[in-house]
Homo-oligomer: A and B are copies of this chain.
Amino acid sequence: MQTADIRQPGSRNVLFIMCDQLRPDYLSCYGGVLQTPNIDRIAARGLRFDRAFVTSGVCGPSRTSFYTGRYPISHRVTWNRVPLPLDELTLGDYLAEAGRPLHLLGKTHFVPDAARLRRLRPDPEQRRLLDEGGFTPVERYDGHFEPAADSPYRRYLIDQGYKGPTPWTDYVIGSTGADGQFASGWYMRNAPLAARVAAADSETAYLTSRAIGFIEQQGDTPWALHLSYIKPHWPYKAPAPYHTLYGAADAPRPVRADHERVDPHPVFGAYQRLEESECFAQDHVVDAIRPVYMGLVKQIDDELGRLLDRLEQLGRLDDTLIVFTSDHGDLAGDHWLGEKEYFFEPVMRIPLIVSDPSAAARASRGTASEAMVECIDVVPTVLDFLGLPSQEHRVEGRSLLPLLRGGQPGEWRSQVFGHLDYAYREARTFLGRGPQECNGFMVRGERYKYIWWEGYRSQLFDLQEDPQELHDLGTDPGLEPVRRAMREDLLRWLASSRRRTTESSQQVLERTHAHERMMGILIGRW
């Protein structure tokens, strides 16, 4: 395998920044409600993708798509904490093969296939990579739990004077209520209270500081870093002053209509019955949570300012590819749902900004692209940037560099595809289904979004006439031709996924031309 020409000026380093559960329409560069001048700085240096989508509205599958460049039906991590099959390779594996580690600070949600690994007992160095999905952790920190006793972040908290056996629970997501009693961030009613941790010691600030430290340490050595924030994901809990920057009046109102609750599609109906949905269906919950969510986004923007300043001082803005994105969006009451997962635009559409330091990308800086792009495009973009093989027999995404550098990318996709496997959700038990029959697929084209459900009728939304997706046209008889055509598209997509991953396209070409004959085998010769 070829090695990247690390001496090439302008294409040395990779900074892949991911937020968790960040909707694009809160960011000022996306025309959103918040002022996010630092994310805007990245956009000013790069190309902003206005139609970027994840392959799944669930953290684990979406991240695995980001990391493998493959759709969930291909990498097969269809839910959180499903172990990655041992034959799948990630961006970290590709970079490691080229002699360059992909460092990690923050969350991956990755789980190795421990059962298979226990039997195989591979080489320890490989095992280390396999255990971390190909990443080389500076510090892996998945969040949402009290960190392990030997976790650097936990030691940091203790060193900073946050006392007790559970500093994350007590301070990072803990608050003091009006009655002076401890108020846990796990309960959303406590979300508006300030975290007991100082902003400078919170998860977002801590990971940023570690990233700055890492980059400083590298000096002139080329590096690749995945900086993966935990926020603005739940527990919705912000440190001062971010907890109180915004009020309910500053937040967008939830997008929902009463008729969505009347005889909804069965799967949509089951999702409405989930605890977080019933909770977010109440206005006072929306009013409590959305301002905190906004504060958490604002904090990320402030911290990114610190990071960008340091990159600039070090000259790293001139030789670093920056990818800024999120693993999915957030509903927070839209369509009477909490959280994410379902195929609505606020879940599937993500911010994606790519800043390429190369001179060739100059013309696209500060502009926006309407191209339909997907999270699986990040892996091929990074491989392309570093001059590494495209792995096209595995990778299902496409490099975005031609879009950034003004080249002709050839015919671009006009549809994106999503998958939901709700087997692990109580929605499944509400519907009385077995764990192997809970698949839904989304085909999102220019105008229509088509959703195919295993065992149920399809859904259809006309994004032109109904951009808020309030009117399910799945049973509109006049639109059967649209649904049928999109079912054909879905069939074509399912039929053509990259399955033959253990041989490269080059190997196929070499074996096509009378390979058997070269080996002395004659088939069908008289």
Which residues of A does B touch, CB under 8 Å? 72-73, 76, 78-79, 81-88, 113, 115-116, 119-123, 126, 130, 144-146, 186-189, 234, 274-277, 279-280, 282, 285, 338-339, 392-393, 421, 423-426, 428-429, 434-437, 439, 441, 452, 454, 484, 487-488, 490-492, 494-496, 498-503, 505, 508-509, 511-515, 519-526
Name 4 extra pairs, CB < 8 A, besides A79-B500, A428-B512, A487-B491. Answer: A85-B85, A85-B87, A119-B123, A145-B521
Q: For the complex, what is the distance from the CA of A126 to the CA of B122, rounded to whole Å?
A: 10
The 5 A-B pairs with the shortest beta carbon distances in the complex, nearest first, are A276-B524, A85-B87, A435-B508, A120-B122, A121-B123
Q: For the complex, what is the distance from the CA of A146 to the CA of B187, rounded to whole Å?
A: 72
Contact of A189 among B234, B435, B488, B526 (CB under 8 A): B526
Closest to A282 in B: B526
Q: For the complex, what is the distance from the CA of A318 to the CA of B282, rounded to whole Å?
A: 69
Contact of A113 with B126 in the complex, beta carbons under 8 Å = no
Q: For the complex, what is the distance from the CA of A275 to the CA of B436, rounded to whole Å?
A: 44
Contact of A526 with B279 in the complex, beta carbons under 8 Å = yes
Contact of A116 with B145 in the complex, beta carbons under 8 Å = no
Contact of A434 with B505 in the complex, beta carbons under 8 Å = yes
Q: For the complex, what is the distance from the CA of A508 to the CA of B422, rounded to whole Å?
A: 10
Measured CB to CB, the closest approach of chain B to A96, in angstroms, equals 10
Contact of A83 among B78, B79, B439, B503 (CB under 8 A): B503
- Residues of B with C-beta under 8 A to A421: 500
10 contacts across the A-B interface (CB closer than 8 A): A120-B120, A120-B126, A187-B522, A276-B525, A282-B526, A423-B500, A424-B511, A436-B498, A436-B500, A441-B495
Measured CB to CB, the closest approach of chain B to A133, in angstroms, equals 13
Q: For the complex, what is the distance from the CA of A526 to the CA of B333, rounded to whole Å?
A: 13
A279 with B524, Cβ < 8 A, contacts A424-B512, A498-B436, A512-B426 known: yes
Best-buried of A277, A484, A496, A498 by chain B (most CB within 10 Å): A496
Best-buried of A280, A428, A514, A522 by chain B (most CB within 10 Å): A522
Contact of A492 with B454 in the complex, beta carbons under 8 Å = yes
Closest to A275 in B: B524
- Residues of B with C-beta under 8 A to A522: 186-187
Contact of A512 with B85 in the complex, beta carbons under 8 Å = no
Closest to A488 in B: B487
- Residues of B with C-beta under 8 A to A487: 487-488, 491
- Residues of B with C-beta under 8 A to A509: 435
- Residues of B with C-beta under 8 A to A279: 524-526
Measured CB to CB, the closest approach of chain B to A441, in angstroms, equals 6
Contact of B120 with A519 in the complex, beta carbons under 8 Å = no
Q: For the complex, what is the distance from the CA of A349 to the CA of B88, rounded to whole Å?
A: 34
A439 with B496, Cβ < 8 A, contacts A120-B120, A279-B525, A519-B145 known: yes
Contact of B144 with A116 in the complex, beta carbons under 8 Å = no
Contact of A502 with B73 in the complex, beta carbons under 8 Å = no
Measured CB to CB, the closest approach of chain B to A286, in angstroms, equals 11
Q: For the complex, what is the distance from the CA of A505 to the CA of B435, rounded to whole Å?
A: 6
Contact of A496 with B276 in the complex, beta carbons under 8 Å = no
Contact of A86 among B87, B146, B513 (CB under 8 A): B87
Q: For the complex, what is the distance from the CA of A511 to the CA of B496, rounded to whole Å?
A: 32
Contact of A495 with B496 in the complex, beta carbons under 8 Å = no
Closest to A190 in B: B526
Measured CB to CB, the closest approach of chain B to A518, in angstroms, equals 13
- Residues of B with C-beta under 8 A to A452: 491, 495
Measured CB to CB, the closest approach of chain B to A420, in angstroms, equals 12
Contact of A186 with B525 in the complex, beta carbons under 8 Å = yes
Contact of A277 with B186 in the complex, beta carbons under 8 Å = no
Q: For the complex, what is the distance from the CA of A130 to the CA of B122, rounded to whole Å?
A: 13
Q: For the complex, what is the distance from the CA of A26 to the CA of B421, rounded to whole Å?
A: 46
Closest to A396 in B: B436
Measured CB to CB, the closest approach of chain B to A196, in angstroms, equals 18
Q: For the complex, what is the distance from the CA of A126 to the CA of B113, rounded to whole Å?
A: 16
Contact of B126 with A121 in the complex, beta carbons under 8 Å = yes
A83 with B276, Cβ < 8 A, contacts A426-B512, A491-B452 known: no
- Residues of B with C-beta under 8 A to A429: 512-513
Contact of B113 with A87 in the complex, beta carbons under 8 Å = yes
Contact of B436 with A496 in the complex, beta carbons under 8 Å = yes
- Residues of B with C-beta under 8 A to A188: 524-526
Contact of A120 with B119 in the complex, beta carbons under 8 Å = no
Q: For the complex, what is the distance from the CA of A126 to the CA of B121, rounded to whole Å?
A: 8
Q: For the complex, what is the distance from the CA of A333 to the CA of B523, rounded to whole Å?
A: 14
